Structure 1
């Protein structure tokens, strides 16, 4: 499989890892859109958010890890956003589901 995030999980491609659990990996985005911009991914290959619905344990693990990273990064009190882009039309460029954890600045609504 030629998946960038699978290669990061395997240690074949370097990443600035923030934290890791048995089921997830969290690392800094290489093109940050906020002072805190961390990607949280499941260690199993799932192509997008819609397919993640078939893996509720992975979804729960990603959510728990995103919350833990927000706390560790100090944005849990001030507020943060968790975003899943699904499909190229929504800006997904790596087709391994990933949550964008964004914080450390004002996050306007609506986004985009």
Structure 2
């Protein structure tokens, strides 16, 4: 099996980008729109946590955020950022999400 020359591949890619920007080459591009996450209400966050049968402290630990942050989300003082909201929704749909993350 032939060895790849990564440096040459990177340089070739950079050359192609330069040509594309100068209008000398057409590169295939793909536009991806992020699907907006459904809004999480304080009640939904609390219900999901309770469905997972974990305390606020454990939930916070699993999300790697302070307990006060989870309290704020559940009491409506703040909302989780999109990354945390996505994890919460994933954990609701796939309860082994946190176990999988812990195994990394």
Which TM-score applies when normalising by structure 2? 0.22
Larger radius of gyration: 2
Structure with the higher helix share, 1 or 2: 2
TM-score (norm 1): 0.21
Which structure has the highest strand share of the two? 1
